[in-house]
Amino acid sequence: MIDRPDSAPAAAEASGPRRRLGATQLTALIVACALFMQTLDGTVIATALPAMAHAFGADPVHMNVALTSYLLSLAVFIPASGWMADRFGARTVFRAAIGIFTLGSLLCGMADSLAFLVAARVLQGMGGAMMVPVGRLVLLRTAAKHELVGAMALLSTPALLGPVLGPPLGGFFVTYLSWRWIFGINLPIGVLGVVLVTLFVPDVRQPGAARLDGLGMALSGVALAGMMFGFETTARGVVPVWLSLSVLAAGLLAAALYVRHARHHPAPLIDMSLMRIPTFMVSVVGGSLFRVGIGAAPFLLPLMLQLGFGDSPLRSGFISIASSAGAIVMKPATTWALRWFGFRDTLLVNGVLSALTLILCAAFRPAWPLAAIYAVLLIGGFFRSLQFTAYNTIAYADIPPARMSAATSLYATLQQVSLTMGVTAGAASLEATMALAGRGAPIVSDFATAFTVVGVVALFAGPVSWLMPRHAGAELSGHRVAEAG
């Protein structure tokens, strides 16, 4: 049984599977409300980047800073999410996080420059850093192990509506109204989220939470910020090379100091010793490679359609939803697939198929029939959805209850770092291809190269699953190795 708060009434344990499942479903749906807002925001802004670049007088390719600044903020502040939930209670932290995220959205809509927008996105990231990890922690502490696959699938199903609705909404607002409207969508959702959290989310926390590792938070923050800034600016050449290399060196030094600090601290903010658990290690390493590849797609695809194909923001938005539609179709089959094939074989085969559909996006051309593009994106989203659910579930299969907060913090941190690296890898590949060809603006072949690069990175994720036994996660999925062959 996954860890539950000591304050939970004994009657809750004896209330039967049906009541527990009902509580698990309710918690998953509330957390999904926050995740919906987060994913909607990310996909809406991706579609609107060219229009925002025009408003600010910036290069559309360089506008990925609006995406990476948010992701970087998430990576810096997520490490403290588990400790915050244990110290102040999940409900209090969750509610405050939604409020901060909503305030950041309001400020984004008021931005009059790229610098203002980036600052507001950083504030959004501070709120987002607490929303999903803390919500996931509540779910892990209230659900039984055999409920987790279904709960994780349910958690992400409403959230998948964000990528479905985001591109067409973004295209509609940019085409007929103003890009500023895209951030106003979060305001009513944020208010609803605060109300639902107040009414229904239990205030779970780990008894006897350790003191905050302040030095660890400072070192990890400098390390993550320095490395992300250094890698991205070196690849894009937007600041002097000496500055990029200096900041990168500072980040690497801070990372080395953090590793040394963590080895001697009784309760480090980021507990790297969790990587000794095979299922967690596979989910982190394989999942990171997979997210680097997949994380570039929301940035590359709208730009390819608008700058390479000449499509309008509205048309590119409607095309971009196909991947998310495929993900929604997959969700009902997730539990069946993992029960039949198990986590290891699913992650291997499905990971390869997912990467190949991403690489196939490199073949997109304006002459392609729209139905063919939709088919590739739909199938890719179908496989991708299963892969993400499998990674997000197997990560916690063997985590002791007392270390669950540390595990969710570490996993969410590395998850966001890999997504940030995905956007950076996509932008860097695009910039490098343009530079080698001596072009000042990207063409279709430049996007094709970028999709190929990130797709190959994702391809390496599947074989990592062989580092865990075939029966791994059987208690979660119900998979029986003997019956499977």
Count the alpha carbons within 13 Å of 329 in the hemisphere toward its beta carbon: 14
In the chain, what is the straight-line distance between the N-terminal and C-terminal CA atoms, in Å?
Answer: 28
210 pLDDT higher than 80: no
pLDDT at 387 over 50: yes
The ranges assigned to domains in the chain are 14-212+269-484, 213-268
- 12 falls in which pLDDT band (50, 70, 90)? very low
**Banded model confidence at residue 193, pLDDT cuts 50, 70, 90:** confident
- Does 209 have pLDDT greater than 90? no
Tens digits of per-residue pLDDT, 60-78? 666 767 777 887 787 778 8
pLDDT of residue 158: 62
- Answer yes or no: is pLDDT of 16 > 60: no
Q: How far is it, in rounded angstroms, from Cα 85 to Cα 436?
A: 48
Q: CB–CB of 302/320 below 8 Å?
A: yes
CB atoms within 10 A of CB 5: 17
CB 443 within 8 A of CB 320: no
Fold exhibited by the domain 14-212+269-484 = Growth Hormone; Chain: A; (1.20.1250)
Asked if residue 161 has pLDDT above 50, the reply is yes
* Single-letter code of the amino acid located at 286: G
Average pLDDT over residues 348-353: 92
pLDDT band per the 50, 70, 90 thresholds, residue 160: low
What per-residue confidence (pLDDT) applies to 13?
A: 37
- With a pLDDT cut of 70, the percent of the chain lying above it is 82
In this model, does residue 23 exceed pLDDT 70? no
pLDDT for residue 481 is more than 90: no
Distance CA 12, CA 27 (A): 15
Cα-to-chain-centroid distance, residue 421: 11
- Distance between CA atoms of residues 185 and 183, nearest Å: 5
Average pLDDT on 160-167 reads 66
Q: Can you give the pLDDT at residue 483?
A: 45
Tokens of 261: 């600090």
* Polymer length of the chain: 485
Report the percentage of the chain scoring pLDDT > 90.
13
32-51 pLDDT, tens digit each:
778 888 777 776 777 777 77
pLDDT number for residue 123: 92
Cα 214 to Cα 212: distance, rounded to the nearest angstrom: 6
Is residue 409 within 8 Å of 79, Cβ to Cβ?
yes
The mean pLDDT value for 261-284 works out to: 87
Task: Taking residues 456-465, report their average pLDDT.
Answer: 91
Average model confidence (pLDDT) across the chain: 79
User: Residue 56 — pLDDT band, cuts 50, 70, 90?
Assistant: confident
Q: Report, as an integer, the average pLDDT of 108-130.
A: 86
Query: Quick one: pLDDT band at residue 239, thresholds 50, 70, 90?
Result: low
What are the Cα distances from residue 195, in Å, to 143, 201, 344, 424? 22, 10, 40, 36
What does the CA dihedral 417, 419, 424, 425 come to, rounded to 10 degrees? 110
**Token output for 59:** 């290069």
pLDDT of 173 above 90: no
Banded model confidence at residue 347, pLDDT cuts 50, 70, 90: very high
Other residues' Cβ atoms within 10 Å of the Cβ of residue 401: 13
Question: Which of 316, 306, 409 shows the shortest CA–CA distance to 93?
Answer: 409
Residue 319 carries which side chain, given as an amino acid letter?
I
Structure token pair of residue 471: 């029966």
**Nearest one of 372, 376, 385 to 358, comparing CA atoms:** 376
Amino acid at 176: Y
Of 374, 291, 382, the closest CA to residue 333 belongs to 382
**Residue 164 confidence (pLDDT):** 65
The average pLDDT across 172-192 equals 83
Output the pLDDT for position 170: 75
HEC-encoded secondary structure of the chain: CCCCCCCCCHHHHCCCHHHHHHHHHHHHHHHHHHHHHHHHHHHHHHHHHHHHHHHHCCCCHHHHHHHHHHHHHHHHHHHHHHHHHHHHCHHHHHHHHHHHHHHHHHHHHCCCCHHHHHHHHHHHHHHHHHHHHHHHHHHHHHCCHHHHHHHHHHHHHHHCHHHHHHHHHHHHHHHHCCCCHHHHCHHHHHHHHHHHHHHHCCCCCCCCCCCCCHHHHHHHHHHHHHHHHHHHHHHHCCCCHHHHHHHHHHHHHHHHHHHHHHHHCCCCCCCHHHHHCHHHHHHHHHHHHHHHHHHHHHHHHHHHHHHHCCCCHHHHHHHHCHHHHHHHHHHHHHHHHHHHHHHHHHHHHHHHHHHHHHHHHHHCCCCCCHHHHHHHHHHHHHHHHHHHHHHHHHCCCCCCHHHHHHHHHHHHHHHHHHHHHHHHHHHHHHHHHHHHHCCCCCCHHHHHHHHHHHHHHHHCCHHHHHHCCCCCCHHHHCCCHHHHC
Query: What's the rounded Cα separation, in Å, for the pair 424 and 65?
Result: 9
